[in-house]
Amino acid sequence: MTATAPKAPTAPGVRSWWGIPYATAERYRRPLVADFDPNRLHDRKGVVSVQPDSGDWLEADSGMGEDCLNLNVWAPEQPAGTALPVAVYIHGGGFEYGANTQITSNAAGLAATGRVVSVSVNYRLGALGALSLSQYGGALAEASNLCLQDVIAALTWIKRNIAHFGGDPDNVTVYGHSGGAYATFGLLGASSANGLYRRLAGFSAGPSRLQPAWWAEELAHRFVTELGVADNPEKLLDLDAASLVAALHKVTPTDLGVRGGMDSKSLGIVLDTRQPGAVLHAHPMDELASGAHRDVDVLLSMASDDMGWWVANDLDRFDPGTVDRIVDEVAGWRIPRSCAKKIVDAYDQGGRTPAEVRAALLSDYIFGLPAARGALAHAAAGGNTHLLVIGPAEGAPAVHGTEMYALVGQERPGRSPEQAERDTRIRDIVLDFVTGEQTRLWPALTDRPISGSVGNPPFEAGAHYQAALDLWESIDRP
């Protein structure tokens, strides 16, 4: 942290602690949980993880660096009579971007209600946190799922120290959006995380899209080859961080269908069960189905037009041009072409453009289908599970990220009254789930995908989840 960083923002009715170190870690080594110094002044934002974009949106007052393992805590100004439930937010960004310094990670708005103590966490990203290098051994032997190891270290720190801030260490909810939700549900497959959380919630991601070990190794090979260190990968320890980030950005696929398709050729949580230095012992979906975590409450959510963000903001790269190319894409996932055509035809309705057809299909395959399958698996194993669909509001299309301000209790600048109403409801859903006051929610699942909804989704939420389950029946969603 730099000495010249400005003081972090405060919020009415809230006590804030910014940039608390929760662990230390040398490059490509596992994190070591840090001690807490209650006498240190925590009034400035911490360093954020090294990433390709240093834009103002990160609000990274203390800059980027590898010494980024810090968290923020917010608590009601007036201490409660008893320890409060704890809401731990894991930011998204595709395991390449994001920080706990940005406004959509500032969970002061939750603490301001007096109902919870809230926390937001930084973790290592991209070339320094999401690459699998343990297969090379030596000084890289611990470099598997480092980003998830960081989250587990943060939860360990919270377990040991959150009582100092008025939080209940035995009543912790972990929740995240997009990449943060993948990390959240990755915890299920990591035995080292057992006992560190009571509830898990995922918004626009969940117990899926794990990177297979073969792809994780292939990506690492491309990375070290690009940098010219394939003959001695330990040379990565001596290269500057910017060159590592640039090399990974160059060799990582960017197409959303490739990244989120059957093979999950992206960055993220790796199914490293048989790899050196494995962090996961099982796939999170299998853990839900096994009943091993039936005592953990689960909430899974999608936005009604998740992939519409790319139609609106990246059309040139996202647009397939023709519907036939979407059939080719789905068939390329090793799905029989006749079945692929049937699936695409189900989305080629209502005068949609090819880009809109692709967006609807990928929204279900990447987000809706695994949410429904995970929720039903957990319910069948005896777990308490809620499904949700977030619809649009005036001025706020229900695309990927539409709920990010609301998840941490913030207000989107310029929001309409209708969005304000929707987002307040989303905030309250988070609070009701975290505090265990689930009688305020809609019914939990039994043997069918009952779902709540907020905003104005263009379909009935439960029926949409069921339709996705039927359409994609027997097709893998790793």
- Kindly state the helix (H) or strand (E) to which residue 169 belongs, with its residue range: strand 167-177
Beta strands in 272-318 (DSSP E): 297-303
Instruction: Write out the two tokens for 427.
Output: 């905030």
Q: Collect contacts of 426-430 with beta carbons under 8 A, ≥24 apart.
A: 426/390, 426/454, 427/109, 427/110, 429/299, 429/388, 429/454, 430/87, 430/110, 430/175, 430/201, 430/406
CB 287 within 8 Å of CB 189: yes
DSSP state of 115: S
Is 204 known to be catalytic?
Answer: no
CB 453 within 8 Å of CB 403: no
Would you call 120 helix, strand, or coil by DSSP? strand
**Within 10 A of 456 (CB to CB), how many other CB atoms are there?**
13
Phi, psi of 286 (to 5 degrees): -65, -35
Q: Which of 118, 178, 266, 301 is catalytic?
A: 178
CB 300 within 8 Å of CB 371: yes
Q: Looking at the annotation, which residues are catalytic?
A: 178
